[in-house]
Amino acid sequence: MKKFSVIFVAVVFALSLAVPAMAVHVGSLDTGPTPAVDEGFSISGGYTFDAEDYTTNAGVQSQAYDDDLEVVLKVNKGDVTVVVDLEIADDAQFDGDSIRGGGDLIDNYYVMIGNFIADGLSLKIGEYGISHGRKIGFYSQGNRNIGIKYSLDQADLALYLGKLQEAAADPDADNDLLTLQASLKGIDALKKANLTYASRTNEASGSDAGFIGVDIALDAGPIPIAFEYNSISSDIAANDGGTALFLSGGFNELLGFNVNLNYFTSNQEFSDAEFGDYWYPLSIYGDKVNGDSGDETTMIWVDGSYKYSDELTLKGAVLIQGTTNDTGLDESIGTEIDIHAVYKVSGNTSLQLTYATWAPGDAYPAPNDETATQLKARLKAKF
């Protein structure tokens, strides 16, 4: 796999030199595909390498090297745009945009036709993800979507019809997904306002699931506020559905550097529903520990960053997490502290050193009550 990664980079580099008539644009992996040009070909992407030493809350130590190579190819001709996302990942947590799954080289792809039938109307067909809020993904591996988006001065309106599973021999056994989204715009002090409704119908099992989400950010006054509320209704596997609530306030203007106070609560039914995993801001608990024994999880944390110099940025987070178990008794999941130092080697290359420690609470009795630690070095190059 490592040898293939090197060959793949060489091929992409050669391709960029072989098409001088096309516009090659240097983009950013974090912002997705590069901005559209009137006509041309663009390449963006990045390479990430991690070296990690990790000790679990059961006292088990492990060391690992993980890397990820992503290359996004984009061709734009008039109103037609084609995007192919290629990715090779050692660790699944890298591969956040993977739609096709199964270790395929092609993560996702789509064809988008602008001004389709009418001005402001676009058609998007392919295998791609649809998301809401911080990390709700309306797809499963192999999902195919047909989307129509209509852009107005006041809002963007979108409708997606997806196939989570197709049964060619019996169409009545398909697993279908309908998603409606509206994004308001042009309103003073409203940084974003996204509304999402999704309905999943599994004909084979006769079960349905619904999702309603609101994602709002206000940039009024000295303390910007972010609010997110999500609700899932489901009759799948005795899952009665659940809710999640996220609140955040920023204190940048008052303190002169980036500090946020955050609150999150959800129940286990929400986490178990089949609309994708929710985002967790923890280095250890979010990635390494698979859930808890309670029905309701609550987190309060403070995170921030300070730009020490043009090259060095310091980041950190302190999190306290609790739960209410099946008997109604409050239990502590634990406390975590994350510290990051990010050093910019060049304009598009950075080094990050992370140290995190998580002390389990009452929800984790012996022998799983030891303090977990993580030491990670990350090299990240964007192009």
Give the contacts of 225 (CB within 8 A, at least 6 positions apart): 217, 218, 247, 248, 249, 250
pLDDT of 129 > 80? The answer is yes
- Cβ distance 245 to 267 under 8 Å? no
Question: pLDDT (tens digit, 9 = 90+) per residue, 224-248?
Answer: 999 999 988 865 555 567 888 999 9
- Cβ distance 260 to 250 under 8 Å? yes
The residue with greater pLDDT, 38 or 172, is 172
Q: Tokens in use for 198? A: 């999704």
CA nearest to 100, candidates 69, 137, 140, 155:
140
Q: What Rg value do the Cα atoms of the chain yield, rounded?
A: 22
- The 10 Å Cβ neighbour count of residue 19 is 12
CA nearest to 143, candidates 156, 151, 131, 157:
131
Question: pLDDT (tens digit, 9 = 90+) per residue, 326-347?
Answer: 555 567 888 999 999 999 999 8
* Mean pLDDT along residues 73-102: 77
Residue 291 Cα to chain centre, angstroms: 18
Greatest Cα pair distance, the chain, in angstroms, is 68
The DSSP call for residue 115 is: S
| Number of residues assigned to the chain | 383
CA distances from 20 to 15, 37, 39 (A): 10, 15, 13
Tell which CATH architecture fits domain 46-68+111-382.
Beta Barrel (2.40)
pLDDT at 218: 93
- The 10 Å Cβ neighbour count of residue 18 is 8
Q: How far apart are the first and last CA of the chain?
A: 21
- Cβ distance 247 to 262 under 8 Å? yes
Dihedral, 237, 243, 244, 245 alpha carbons, nearest 10: 180
pLDDT at 24: 30
Cα angle: 202, vertex 140, 117; to 5 degrees: 85
pLDDT at 293: 44
pLDDT at 333: 82
Q: 367-371 long-range CB contacts below 8 Å, 24 or more apart?
A: 367/58, 367/59, 368/57, 368/58, 369/57, 370/55, 370/56, 370/57, 370/58, 370/59, 371/57
CA distance 340 to 380: 14
CA distance 217 to 374: 32
- The 10 Å Cβ neighbour count of residue 360 is 24
Q: Tokens in use for 90? A: 């050692």
Question: pLDDT (tens digit, 9 = 90+) per residue, 248-301?
Answer: 999 998 898 999 999 988 876 665 555 655 677 788 876 655 444 445 778 899
Question: pLDDT (tens digit, 9 = 90+) per residue, 96-111?
Answer: 555 555 567 888 899 9
Q: Residue 78 carries which side chain, given as an amino acid letter?
A: G
For the whole prediction, is pTM greater than 0.85?
Answer: no
